[in-house]
Amino acid sequence: MKAKTAKAAPKKVLIVEDEGDLCLLLNILLDGKGMEVEHVQSLAKAEEFLQQEQPSLVLLDNRLPDGFGIDYISVIKKQHPSTKIIMISGVDAAACDVALENGADVFLKKPFTRAELFKSVSEVLNNEKQTA
């Protein structure tokens, strides 16, 4: 039996975003950085994915073709309580408060920088083991 190496298995990340360019950019930025990235463009597709997989992190847009991500946070948390959620949206501060109250771990206001994205992802994934 081989000893475990220091390299951890990649974290599974689901991006729920309907803007193609942003989705591609997020994929490029996160893929291969210890993360296995998948993306969907609607809440219905997110639901299908979450029935099959348990991601470590969901990057969730608010305004999607079939509803609001802010209302879907509680669904994700009910199915997968340990999954971290980063809400991404261009809306006002009130939405930030609601997203956090609904269970989002971080709210990233669009447009955000690469540094802000990496900091948020790193914080929620590195704190994953400390939460029980």
Q: How far apart are CA 73 and CA 24, in angstroms?
A: 22
Domain parsing of the chain, residue ranges? 42-124
Q: Please, are residues 43 and 64 in contact by the beta-carbon 8 Å criterion?
A: yes
pLDDT of residue 6: 54
pTM given for the model? 0.89
Closest CA to 56 of 22, 91, 15: 15
pLDDT band, very low/low/confident/very high, at 94 (cuts 50, 70, 90): confident
Dump pLDDT digits (tens) for 2-57.
444 556 778 999 999 999 999 999 999 998 788 999 999 999 999 999 999 999 99
* Burial label, 94 (beta-carbon count in 10 A; 0-12, 13-18, 19+): exposed
Q: Identify whether the C-beta of residue 70 lies closer than 8 Å to the C-beta of residue 90.
A: no
**Distance between the two ends of the chain, CA-based, in angstroms?**
30
Q: So what's the pLDDT on residue 131? A: 36
The fold of 42-124 is Rossmann fold (3.40.50)
